[in-house]
Structure 1
Amino acid sequence: MSKNTGVSVIVCTNKPHMMHNIFNNYQRQDYWNKEMIIILNHNRINKRKWRKFAHQSNSHNVTVYQLPEELSLGKCLNFAIRKSRFNYLAKFDDDDYYASTYLQNSMHTLLNENAGVVGRQDFYMYIQDKQELLIRHTDNHLIGGSLLFHKKIWKKIPFEDRSTGEDDAFYSGCVANKIPMAQPTFKDFVYIRQSNNKHHTWQPDEHTLYYNTTFVTHTDSFHPYIS
């Protein structure tokens, strides 16, 4: 890929305990030209600790910013994108799992299918407390943690000033503007959650959580199923 296909990974978090997961997801990416912009959306997170960890872990091209927790997730995402230096943007969630081929697969699909946005409607979902691995299908949107898109799309459809549903609103804007979208393989991404809603932005009841899912297996490690 050319030097113009660099990817800026955008991560917004208010969870200090997810620091290692965020850095591991970035470092794991087998992609030659990347950067990561982290937005700490919480007043009491120690920004120096995160910057020190980035240095000590040899995480190259990582920038850490801190914004007031009163700002919405949408505003934080827009801030991070304005700070990005590459034309392609990958939105990572702080608590999910991204396999080493994730960025490669996403960029390959976007460029080969001439899409403006790629994301996953089908994806692995792992319920940690029940050790359940499932495949989940969403009917009418792409899961927010799997979005990768060209910056020119964002300039036309920035994220709305809200902390829930900002991904759905972005997707709806893309549909309304007839932005071409494509879906890479689902086997390089795992949406991780507890059955309890306490620590999650999306808080469905049990029926909704398991709706449109296919059970794969009970396991204490989903890694053998990821490619």
Structure 2
Amino acid sequence: MKIRKKFSSAYKPGVTIITVTNKAKFKKNIKENFVRCKYPEVEFIIILNSNKLNIKEYKSYFSILPNIKIYKLNEDISLGESMNFGIENSNYDYISKMDDDDYYGENYIGDLMNIFNYTSADIVGKASHFIYFEENESLNLWCGGNDSCYSKAVAGATLVMKKYIFDKVKFNRLNSGEDLDLIAQCNSLDFKIYSGDIFNYVYNRHKRIKYHSWKVSNLNLMLRSQKICRTNNYKQIVSM
């Protein structure tokens, strides 16, 4: 909160938020995340990566947002390639990768963007973050203690990057692990990565693993994370 106040009057460079989706059931969640965002200078890009999704329906559904582009790519095109397409069609100098089924608080972008004001990071994100397990309403903390510091990695769904890094790296042709692969490329080129605080983002784990590109079991993730509490309203806990 102190950092947010300190940089409240600082210049706010534009951010392009890119979400790639192939499941209609997450359309509402994408919209809620976008509408919730309080950052003043944003461009939204949605890339439909399924032949079953209707681009006209999406354009109508998201018409409330003034600065949005919606594209449809053939589902044979990978998630990584879809991200590259979004970056190529972005207007701003900062790129945010948002997943379609996670929670992003109203100050999520603003707080991560502030990090660029007091670090030499090329990439920011969250190495420590909350996980919510829908099947038992458990809110857990993943990788606790890796917040507010330089890091070799952050969660792929929390990547906010200076666009110039894509002069040297690209997302590879992958549908899973494309973000980890990109981070490995960035580390090999000595790009600096900074992990922000744990708040304003939640990795939602659904009961059905088919909705996740990371096929690890929920039990595995529960055992590897720290339980915070049981709740049916985590937003009031994680949002600041």
- TM-score normalised over the length of structure 2: 0.89
The correspondence for 1:14, drawn from 2, 22, 26, is: 22
CA–CA separation in structure 1 for the residues paired with 2:197 and 2:43: 23
CA–CA separation in structure 2 for the residues paired with 1:207 and 1:125: 12
**Correspondence list, 1:186-205, <5 A:** 186-205=198-217
Kept in 2, the 8 Å contact 1:110–1:182? The answer is no
Matched residue of 2:183: which SS? helix
**Correspondence list, 1:121-160, <5 A:** 121-137=127-143, 141-160=153-172
Give the direction of change, closer, same or farther, for the CA distance of 1:113–1:205 in structure 2 (3 Å limit): same
- TM-score normalised over the length of structure 1: 0.94
Structure 1 runs not aligned, ≥5 long: none
Aligned position for 2:57: 49
The structure 1 segments of at least 4 consecutive aligned residues displaced by more than 6 Å after TM superposition are none
The correspondence for 1:209, drawn from 209, 221, 234, is: 221
The correspondence for 1:24, drawn from 16, 22, 32, is: 32
Structure 2 letter corresponding to 1:85: N
Aligned position for 2:237: 225
State how many pairs are aligned.
224
The correspondence for 1:82, drawn from 79, 88, 104, is: 88
Report how far residue 102 of structure 1 moved: 0.3
CA RMSD of aligned residues (A): 1.5
Matched residue of 1:208: which SS? helix
Structure 2 runs not aligned, ≥5 long: 1-9, 147-151
Report how far residue 154 of structure 1 moved: 1.9
The correspondence for 2:120, drawn from 94, 114, 120, is: 114
Aligned position for 1:2: 11
Matched residue of 2:135: which SS? helix
Aligned position for 2:110: 104
CA–CA separation in structure 2 for the residues paired with 1:166 and 1:22: 20
CA–CA separation in structure 1 for the residues paired with 2:165 and 2:20: 20
Matched residue of 2:214: which SS? coil
Kept in 1, the 8 Å contact 2:51–2:75? The answer is yes
